[in-house]
Amino acid sequence: MTQTSLILLLLNALSTWFMLGVIWYVQIVQYPLFSWIDKDRFGTYQERFQWRTTLVVGGPMVVEAFTSVLLLWYPPIADHSLLLMGVGLVFLIWISTAFLQIPCHGELARGYQPVYHRRLVLSNWIRTISWTLRTILVLWILFTVLAGSAELTE
């Protein structure tokens, strides 16, 4: 494994773990509590929520996607199928975000609508489960790399 592979893997792991924490917080705490926000101020709240959330997750999501793809060119492990699964999960997360969650947020920015709130909470499970699976996958790859490094030094 090259130094480039290791750096990419670590950046990928850190961004994935960060997003895992964010997505579980959003899924269990933030999104369900939308229904408790003052309905007269909900549109303004939603716009601010979207902007601030983008500031927090935009960078890590881009780093995760970029490093996932680069790991295909600088693989830290011989089994490329694990790396391809990782890219597939990133793709699923981005597709879900673009075509399911962002449209719900757009509708909610017009004012609280129970149907879009429910759709947001339910569809967000796609990202929550995908980031959970990605975290397990990245951990597996890291342990594989570390086990291989340990064997080389013995």
87-122 tens-digit pLDDT: 999 999 999 999 999 999 999 999 999 999 999 999
Angle formed at CA 76 by CA 75 and CA 80, multiple of 5 degrees: 50
Q: Which two tokens stand for residue 52?
A: 């601030």
Total of domains in the chain: 1
Indicate which CATH number applies to the domain containing 55: 1.20.120
Write out the residue range of the structural domain in which residue 19 sits: 3-153
Q: Are 71 and 8 in contact (CB under 8 A)?
A: yes
Continuous H helices in 74-113: 80-96, 102-108
Predicted TM-score (pTM) of this structure: 0.94
Cα separation, 92 vs 16, whole angstroms: 14
- Give pLDDT tens digits for 27-39: 999 999 999 999 9
